[in-house]
């Protein structure tokens, strides 16, 4: 799913379907998160450093989840709205993201906690052929 299709069906604060967006197809490989961060950096020059950092951390977490759990190609999208930056991660997997029970001894499993803490909004949009996980961050620090 592209950002425009998501925005046509789901109202998201600070972003509109007509706002400029860009997408890239990523293979489900270990390098996908790095490629997503590079794509994000190329398309968010001039945005607040905090927004760029938060978006990069959350994008890394969600793309990695797609690689590990969906194991399908990923469509990574970036939309620069009037007030917020929207990032979408679409895959063809059937499962929904879920945080495992808290366990401070486990070396992983905190990605969605980070996403929840670092974003203004996030969610999952289910589709017939997969899902799109999305989040927004403010374009500038409050």
- What is the side-by-side strand order in the sheet with 121-127? 21-26, 74-80, 84-91, 130-138, 121-127
How long, in residues, is the chain? 142
Of the two residues 38 and 65, the one the predictor is more confident about is: 38
At residue 126, the pLDDT reads 81
* Residue ranges of domains in the chain, CATH in brackets: 3-96+112-138 (3.30.565.10)
Lowest-confidence region among 71-80, 94-103, 127-136:
94-103
| Entry pTM | 0.89
When pLDDT is averaged across residues 20-27 and rounded to a whole number, the result is 95
CA–CA distance, 87 with 106 (Å, rounded to integer): 28
When pLDDT is averaged across residues 5-13 and rounded to a whole number, the result is 85
- pLDDT of 72-88, one tens digit each? 999 999 999 999 999 99
């Amino acid at each position: 799913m592209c950002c425009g299709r998501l925005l046509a069906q789901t109202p998201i604060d600070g972003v509109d379907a007509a706002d400029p967006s860009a997408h890239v197809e990523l293979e489900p490989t270990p390098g996908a998160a790095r490629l997503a961060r590079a794509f994000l950096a190329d398309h968010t020059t001039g945005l607040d450093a905090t927004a760029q950092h938060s978006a990069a951390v959350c994008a890394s977490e969600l793309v990695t989840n797609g690689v590990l759990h969906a194991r399908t190609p990923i469509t990574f999208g970036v939309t620069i709205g009037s007030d917020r930056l929207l990032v979408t991660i679409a895959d063809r997997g059937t499962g929904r993201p879920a945080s495992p029970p808290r366990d401070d001894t486990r070396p992983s499993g905190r990605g969605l906690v980070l996403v929840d803490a670092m974003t203004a909004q996030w969610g999952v949009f289910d589709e017939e052929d997969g899902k799109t996980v999305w989040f927004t961050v403010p374009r500038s620090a409050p």
